[in-house]
Amino acid sequence: MNPPTERVDRQLGQLLADACAASFQGWDFSWLGDRHRIAPTDWDFRSIVETAARDARSVVDMGTGGGEYLATLNTLPPHTVATESHAPNWSS
């Protein structure tokens, strides 16, 4: 194994250890600090979904969380279903 690979393996191992030890709730990843970076993509997910949904007869949103994203879509077919298996995200 060459040194750069060993360094990356150590960094990944440390990140995984930190993740297992971190106490967080929901989608709060602030504990990652500057190790969390988001780069823009060269494609627009919303546009892809809305274009596909426009001609679809049905849509399923699996792992929807609280359904916030699904609720913001402009076009939904008549048969739209959302699923969520994480109990804290279930609404009463």
| Alpha helices (H) along the chain | 3-21, 45-55, 68-72
59's torsion region: left (phi>0), alpha (psi -120 to 50) or beta?
beta
What residue ranges do the domains of the chain occupy? 1-39, 40-92
Query: The whole model's pTM is what?
Result: 0.53
Question: How high is the pLDDT of residue 75?
Answer: 87
| Encoded tokens for 8 | 């990356």
Angle at 48 between CA 60 and CA 46, to 5 degrees: 80
**Which residues have a Cβ under 8 Å from the Cβ of 60 and sit 6 or more positions away?**
80, 81, 82, 83
pLDDT in tens, the chain (92 residues): 556 677 778 888 888 888 888 776 667 777 777 877 778 888 998 999 999 999 999 999 998 888 888 999 988 999 999 998 888 777 65
